[in-house]
Structure 1
């Protein structure tokens, strides 16, 4: 199932790690994950989200603010009942753990390019196979997955197509134009609209758009910690000015925002 990120040969379990016939070996970290991101595939020393972003997202999600988003994703995954699934860009594992709970009999994998994220993610469910790896070079065999999840994550569509077995599908979850609209108006003088369906133009031949729905609800962030975490886990934490971020964090009254997510499911054709 796992493949070598250097030569693409199959990886076999060996002592406290994995190795391929060519002798490329990867040890398991003490936290339980495998680092299958060779140095030559890195664009920086520590790619992906840093520790501060990961911990802010962990605290915000653990507080339950996006629980409806995770619950609906888990329901949609359970309806597909895959034998093997992968969460691409799993971050610190909040959504991954919800999928795993909904698919107790399935073989689950999760990867992220951020080592800081995966170090924390693997504590959520040690039974899953947690990987530090590139989303553009996923170290899994061709046609090996029946279900892929991509939540708030960049996506290599050709890799997704390669990984899916015929009839398997990808569930993409991303924000609509209404997502956090109140926050965006607070932070920026000009709020630009964007098309909710622009990702559809990237779908490769061989994948069919089979399902789409939107989940929308209101969120009240009463304490400054939750507002600070929300900013820190999004690009707004570095795009917006320090003064405007401080006004959002320090305001006395609860901050009301719209959460709006789009779920799109794409099936690989035979």
Structure 2
């Protein structure tokens, strides 16, 4: 099912890796993933999230702080019951594993551009096909997926459209303007508003918004390490001043913060 990221021909299994008819070969890493990101498609030596960001997100998510977000995503994926699905921008695999558990009989793929993320993600479920790859050049054929998940990830809409079979859909999960509002108010003198629906202007012709909902709940972060992990896994970890970050991490009392996520499902007509 995989395609060569260099010539787009089909990839076949060969020893401990895959190869295309033109001889482009890609070995499987000892952790189980395939690196289908050629050096000419990289914009830096090690693109994507670094080890510190990946491990902070892994520890925060493993602690269950965003469990309702993953649970609802898995429920929606199960409702649409695809034959083949893809998590595009899978990170360290927390949400991917939840989708896989909800779709045990389906063919699952997951990719991210970050090697550090995929190295850790593939430990969650060895039954999935884990890939280091560009979301702008996904190594899968046209019309090969019935469900695509994009969770807190940049998205190439045209590439997503190419991958979907007719009637298939893309589930985009992203923050609303309320998300982490209390944290943002603590970190910045001025909190900038943004439109929750600005992504709708990017949807290609032929894709229709079929479902939209918002999940909102409050986190009570008692532990300073949890607050540090939350900062490290978001842009606030480098945008805000060290003094403001320390005021969040080191405060003795629990820190309450709003989680607000928007789920939008787009069907390819």
Residue 196 of structure 2 aligns to a residue in which SS?
coil
Counterparts of 1:121-160 in structure 2, within 5 Å, are: 121-160=121-160
> Is 2:188 aligned against 1:184?
no
Residue 96 of structure 1 is matched in structure 2 by 96
Residue 240 of structure 1 is matched in structure 2 by 240
String of CA shifts for 1:176-209, please: whole Å, max 9, x gaps: 0000000000000000000000000000001000
String of CA shifts for 1:154-190, please: whole Å, max 9, x gaps: 0000000000000000000000000000000000000
Residue 37 of structure 2 is matched in structure 1 by 37
Gaps in structure 1 of 5+ consecutive residues:
none
Mapped partners of 1:201, 1:175: distance in 2: 17
TM-score, with length taken from structure 2: 1.00
Residue 173 of structure 1 aligns to a residue in which SS?
strand
Give the Å deviation of 1:40. 0.2
Counterparts of 1:62-101 in structure 2, within 5 Å, are: 62-101=62-101
Count of paired positions:
269
Mapped partners of 1:10, 1:162: distance in 2: 16
Residue 30 of structure 2 aligns to a residue in which SS?
coil
Give the Å deviation of 1:8. 0.4
Q: How large is the Cα RMSD of the aligned pairs?
A: 0.2
Residue 58 of structure 1 is matched in structure 2 by 58
Mapped partners of 1:160, 1:102: distance in 2: 22
Mapped partners of 1:237, 1:5: distance in 2: 33
Give the Å deviation of 1:145. 0.2
Gaps in structure 2 of 5+ consecutive residues:
none
Residue 114 of structure 1 is matched in structure 2 by 114
Residue 267 of structure 1 is matched in structure 2 by 267
Mapped partners of 1:207, 1:21: distance in 2: 34
Give the Å deviation of 1:87. 0.0
TM-score, with length taken from structure 1: 0.99
Counterparts of 1:175-254 in structure 2, within 5 Å, are: 175-254=175-254
